[in-house]
Amino acid sequence: MAEDREVVLKVENLSQYFKLGPGAVNKAVDHVSFDIKKGEVFGLVGESGCGKTTTGRSIIRLYDITGGNVWFKGKRIAAGTLDYKEAIKAAREELKTCTDPLRKDKLAEIIKVNTEEMAAAKRDHKNADRKLVNEIQMVFQDPIASLDPRMTVRDIIAEGLIIQGEKNKEVIDAKVHKMLETVGLVAEHASRYPHEFSGGQRQRIGVARAIVMEPSLIIADEPISALDVSIRAQVINLLNDLRKNMGITILFIAHDLSVVKYFSDRIGVMYFGKMVELADSEELFRHPFHPYTRSLLSAIPQPDPYYERNRKRISYNPVADHDYREEQPSFKEVLPGHFVLCNTEEYERYRREAGL
């Protein structure tokens, strides 16, 4: 049971902001939280630009995160300072006009605690265990752009090993050949260059480059979106085999919900930088509560002409579908293990829809 497995990755209030100019900020990821249990596949879905890829890149530390924490195997490997800075700023602003001595003491304590926690976050982020971070590897979306055209397949796959200090050429070659065979290629491919392979083969090379490091967690960033349908199935089956044979945990990022349903144990739905719904795969398809999730599900085509002729797309309009003037939404557990971003009124309505 997934519920009984240990948590390998825990993401707490992850925020990743990018400055666009004076006073302008793009909140690519805004206070996203989830965890991934050992050996499971966690699907992260949403339309292009919702922050899925940025979330994956932030976890693997390709970006210095703006706020929140990333815990891997119980250790903090990434930390941001946004929330601490905001808490300190708000307390100082209130302190300027506060006349209540007890409240002043409380505000001073808030500033002190958040200053200490911010210093600890900076220290943990700077001194993160690099060997532990290297147990997380990434398979990138574009198999062409992610492989250096000037390097042979052997050099591409071996690069991580060499960076980690492996110098024995025979050991490196043996591991490279083993990885090629694991992903369905042959040892002779090691001397070739990326342009000599098809898209599916290039993606297999990308997978081999990731698993040669013997990772505990793979972040698969839309690994099939650039591939033909028949090749997609091969790559999915390859990842499934790696999961079963090597015990690898997978964060699977995609926008195709039908594929994610087949492959994932749990699914998180992102919209505009926020997590709007999170549930087991079957449960999410059985009870999609958030209007955006329903919109995504309505867009899934089916191999049934009659169904397709009568299928009605559900459009999502945040302004029309939500009324947050009196209460802002928060992540609430509508059903056991099924979380939705909603306010109290929506929460009660979703509960009624579930027959509770």
Average pLDDT, stretch 277-282?
A: 95
Confidence bin at 166 (pLDDT 50/70/90): confident
For the beta carbon of residue 261, count every other beta carbon within 10 angstroms: 17
- Asked if 270 and 177 sit in the same domain, the reply is no
Single out the residue in 196, 214, 232 at which a domain terminates: 214
Asked if the structure places residue 266 within a domain, the reply is yes
- Asked if 219 and 321 sit in the same domain, the reply is yes
Number of domains in the chain: 2
- Asked if 229 and 201 sit in the same domain, the reply is no
Asked if the structure places residue 228 within a domain, the reply is yes
Asked if the structure places residue 97 within a domain, the reply is no
Q: What is the pLDDT of residues 193-239, one digit of tens each?
A: 999 998 888 888 998 999 899 899 999 998 877 677 777 787 888 88
**What's the confidence (pLDDT) of residue 137?**
93
Single out the residue in 214, 232, 267 at which a domain terminates: 214
- Asked if 227 and 316 sit in the same domain, the reply is yes
Asked if the structure places residue 78 within a domain, the reply is no
Average model confidence (pLDDT) across the chain: 91
**What's the confidence (pLDDT) of residue 3?**
57
Confidence bin at 320 (pLDDT 50/70/90): very high
**What's the confidence (pLDDT) of residue 224?**
79
- Asked if 161 and 210 sit in the same domain, the reply is yes
Confidence bin at 1 (pLDDT 50/70/90): very low
Show the domain range for 185: 146-214
Asked if the structure places residue 233 within a domain, the reply is yes
- Asked if 209 and 221 sit in the same domain, the reply is no
Q: What is the pLDDT of residues 5-17, one digit of tens each?
A: 799 999 999 999 9
Predicted TM-score of the model (pTM): 0.89
Average pLDDT, stretch 112-118?
A: 96
CATH value at residue 283: 3.40.50.300
- Asked if 188 and 294 sit in the same domain, the reply is no
**What's the confidence (pLDDT) of residue 66?**
96
**What's the confidence (pLDDT) of residue 4?**
64
- Asked if 288 and 228 sit in the same domain, the reply is yes
Q: What is the 3-state secondary structure (H, E, C) of the chain?
A: CHHHCCEEEEEEEEEEEEEEECCEEEEEEEEEEEEEECCCEEEEECCCCCCHHHHHHHHCCCCCCCEEEEEECCEEEEECCHHHHHHHHHHHHHHHHCCCHHHHHHHHHHHHHHHHHHHHHHHHHHCCCHHHHCCEEEECCCCCCCCCCCCCHHHHHHHHHHHCCCCCHHHHHHHHHHHHHHCCCCHHHHHCCHHHCCHHHHHHHHHHHHHCCCCCEEEEECCCCCCCHHHHHHHHHHHHHHHHHHCCEEEEEECCHHHHHHHCCEEEEEECCEEEEEEEHHHHHHCCCCHHHHHHHHCCCCCCHHHHHHCCCCCCCHHHHCCCCCCCCEEEEEECCEEEEECHHHHHHHHHHCCC
- Asked if 197 and 298 sit in the same domain, the reply is no
Single out the residue in 214, 245, 274 at which a domain terminates: 214
Q: Give dist(CA 337, CA 79) in Å, integer.
A: 26
Least confident of 45-59, 184-198, 217-231, 333-347: 217-231
Name the β-bridge partners of 10: 35, 71
- Asked if 199 and 224 sit in the same domain, the reply is no
Q: Regarding beta strands 7-21 and 67-72, do their DSSP bridges make them parallel or antiparallel, or are they unpaired?
A: antiparallel
Q: What are phi and psi of 16, to 5 degrees?
A: -135, 105
